[in-house]
Amino acid sequence: MVSSSLQATNRGDDIEMADFNPTLNEDQLTIQKWVHDFAVDVMRPNAEEWDEREEFPWPIVEQAAEIGLYGWEFLANAMFNDPTGLTMPVALEELFWGDAGIGMAIMGSGLAAAGIASSGTQDQVMEWVPQCYGDAKNIQTGAFAASEPDAGSDVGGYRTSARYDEAKDEWVLNGTKAWITNGGMADIHVVIGVVDPELGSKGHASFIVPPGTKGLSQGQKYKKHGIRASHTAEVVLDDVRVPGRCLLGGKEKLDERLARVRRGEKGNAQAAMQTFEATRPAVGAQAIGVARAAYEYSLDYAKEREAFGRKIIMNQSIAFMLADMATEIEATRLLIWRGAWLGKQKGFVNAEGSMAKLKAGRVATHVTERAIQILGGYGYTREYPVERWHRDAKIHDIFEGTEQIQQLVISRAISGLRIE
């Protein structure tokens, strides 16, 4: 009998774990330094201000656009011209090391762009993705609106309706979306609507809501625990009419897919699993950027701060805490890079993308909490950045699939059973 851990290392003829090489090439090292420099020069000095303001940091995003860090070309290059899969996690770790709130403001439009790229036709991608970004002189943003007030993890519970008005070749959207990054303020909204409620999550489709469309408005803007420079709000859709061409993938493809589901034919679950899994290591990389920021800061602090006549790092209890923090970060980065690489090879077996995200969220939350402990009273104040990093870390246990949803996905993958 082959053990499950052995199965995880044997992925068939094409994909061998021995081919996984966690070494960055010259291009990746250059990108890493480029993003790190931006984080040091622009993000770090502005992080506290935008966290306090709880507003979208337009001037910072403009600066990111000026150097090409905010823009669809960067995203496309990092995602599609990199066979190793490591470029994106490397860039994201540096960005979120700089600041998670501003990092999310820079990356948030990518959620919409990815939604368009995964479901849209080539023409739709060419038309709408650039509009999620604009340019440095005219910054535009995108929002990906899936979650609803009564259904986040439970995607089968979405209620936003999408009705086709055949006479006008228009789709009519009605409902409320919750916790949407860039929601309401975005130029392009990608909205998940329920076309056939009988089919649960298989009856959904994605729609573009173009700029200035009547009926779309921003509901409440959330006051958040962390990543406060990122704009998060409700999106209200009240008889929003969009032209037929705004249905991502097109009507013919949707009709065919719905017909297959109604006939009870199984979709390509394996392909869907590979797609979802592939996005998760990137979120893990964000988390590890925040963790590394807190670890580095608390290491420096522990070497400076004195108590009982010696540097606090000279106490094993502090030094060992830092040793654990460093170990967790290094181990998690490897898991993330392996997940990102497997995503490129379409080689997930045991939901390794979810494993990377699950572990990284937990590590970030734990490491940033330990950093507060090392700074003692100072760590608990807003005078020092570690409390902000702790607040910023927590979101990685929640969005893009909660901790428990990752566990669900992993437990189903390792057991082959429909765990509930």
Ligand X SMILES: Cc1cc2nc3c(=O)[nH]c(=O)nc-3n(C[C@H](O)[C@H](O)[C@H](O)COP(=O)(O)OP(=O)(O)OC[C@H]3O[C@@H](n4cnc5c(N)ncnc54)[C@H](O)[C@@H]3O)c2cc1C
Catalytic machinery residues: 400
Task: Find all residues with CB under 8 Å of 76, minimum gap 6, and list them.
Answer: none
Whether 171 contacts 192, CB under 8 Å: no
Q: How far is the CB of 226 from ligand X (least distance, A)?
A: 8
Which residue in 213, 245, 399, 414 binds ligand X (CB under 6 A)? 399
Task: Find all residues with CB under 8 Å of 231, minimum gap 6, and list them.
Answer: 55, 56, 105, 108, 181, 182, 183, 185, 221
Return the range that interacts with ligand X (CB under 6 A); candidates 179-187, 235-243, 362-370, 376-384: 179-187
Q: Does 185 bind ligand X (CB under 6 A)?
A: no
Which residue in 113, 180, 190, 312 binds ligand X (CB under 6 A)? 180
Measured from the CB atom, the residue of 57 and 379 that comes closer to ligand X is: 57
In 12-71, where does DSSP find H-type helix?
26-38, 44-53, 58-66
Q: At what angle do helices 87-98 and 100-107 cross, to 10 degrees?
A: 130
Q: Does 188 bind ligand X (CB under 6 A)?
A: no
Q: Does 201 bind ligand X (CB under 6 A)?
A: no
Which residue in 38, 50, 144, 301 binds ligand X (CB under 6 A)? 144
Across-strand partners of 37? none
Pairwise CA distance, residues 293 & 59, whole Å: 23
Which residue in 84, 232, 298, 354 binds ligand X (CB under 6 A)? 232
Measured from the CB atom, the residue of 86 and 233 that comes closer to ligand X is: 233
Find the residue with minimal CB distance to ligand X.
152
Measured from the CB atom, the residue of 34 and 222 that comes closer to ligand X is: 222
Q: Is 396 helix (H, G, I), strand (E, B) or coil?
A: helix
Q: Does 152 bind ligand X (CB under 6 A)?
A: yes
Q: How far is the CB of 376 from ligand X (least distance, A)?
A: 29
DSSP structural state of residue 263: T
Q: Does 179 bind ligand X (CB under 6 A)?
A: yes
- Tokens 């060419």 correspond to 126
Task: Find all residues with CB under 8 Å of 178, minimum gap 6, and list them.
Answer: 147, 148, 149, 152, 234
Binding footprint of ligand X on the chain (CB under 6 A): 111, 144-147, 152-154, 179-181, 224, 227, 232, 395, 398-399, 402, 404-405, 408
